[in-house]
């Protein structure tokens, strides 16, 4: 372990919060999204590597998180249920899996619980490389957007900062537990 490892690890939640906000387009709207997705997935890949000792699993974990992070949630991030007034037929990729199950059970997609379910699955997939950390992120990701929407009713700024920070905390916790100090 080098001298810079602990300071960088301690900054991980703030780094991912900044990446999440940049990805949301609020700080620098023209910033390219692909490097942000790759950067967001890196600590989760590191966590997967540290958990398993396999570089291949680490790379797969990195790819899983980067891909899950890239999956849209624009129709539900308001935490009010399905909400796409500009295009009522719009469906996000993640909803292609969740919506049919939700409707087969007979539940209404316009209820806030639908937003929690979609965002929870997104959090679960983002955190998947961290093992049990995925369960924490399945709750923290939608909670971040719920909190953010209580602070700013029609904006995502707080939600993006909080969700990125929450993801950073989960990755940090798993990495921290695997490092032999």
Q: Which pLDDT score is estimated for 153?
A: 80
Per-residue model confidence (pLDDT) at position 88: 72
pLDDT number for residue 17: 95
Mean pLDDT (the chain) is 91
- Whole-model pTM: value is 0.91
> DSSP string of 48-93?
HHHHH--HHHHHHHHHHHHHHHHS--TTTTTSSSS--TT-TT---T
SS3 content of the chain, % helix, strand, coil (to 5): 70, 0, 30
pLDDT at 66: 95
Looking at residue 117, its pLDDT comes to 95
Residue from 21, 97, 27, 20 nearest 66 by CA:
20
Distances (CA, A) of 106 to 75, 88, 92, 174: 20, 20, 20, 37
CB 145 within 8 A of CB 164: no
Per-residue pLDDT reduced to its tens digit, 71-80: 877 788 888 8
Kindly list the averaged pLDDT for each block of 10 residues, start to end, along the chain of length 181.
77 94 83 91 96 97 95 84 77 89 94 94 97 96 94 88 96 91 65
Distance between alpha carbon 16 and the CA centroid of its chain, in Å?
Answer: 10
Q: Please tell me the predicted confidence (pLDDT) of residue 180.
A: 75
């Amino acid at each position: 372990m080098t001298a810079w490892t602990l300071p960088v690890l301690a900054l991980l939640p703030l780094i991912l919060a900044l990446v999440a906000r940049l990805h949301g387009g609020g700080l620098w709207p023209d910033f390219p999204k692909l490097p942000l997705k790759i950067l967001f997935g890196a600590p989760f890949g590191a966590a997967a590597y540290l958990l398993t000792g396999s570089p291949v699993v680490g790379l797969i974990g990195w790819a899983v998180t980067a891909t899950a992070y890239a999956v849209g949630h624009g129709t539900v991030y308001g935490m009010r249920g399905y909400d796409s007034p500009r295009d009522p037929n719009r469906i996000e990729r993640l909803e292609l899996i969740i919506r049919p199950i939700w409707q087969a059970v007979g539940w209404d997609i316009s209820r806030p619980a639908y937003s929690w379910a979609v965002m929870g699955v997104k959090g679960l997939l983002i955190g998947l490389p961290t093992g049990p950390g995925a369960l924490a992120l399945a709750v923290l990701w939608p909670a971040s957007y719920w909190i953010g929407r209580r602070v700013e009713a029609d904006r995502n700024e707080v939600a993006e900062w909080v969700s990125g920070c929450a993801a950073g905390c989960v990755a940090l916790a798993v990495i921290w537990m695997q490092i032999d100090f």
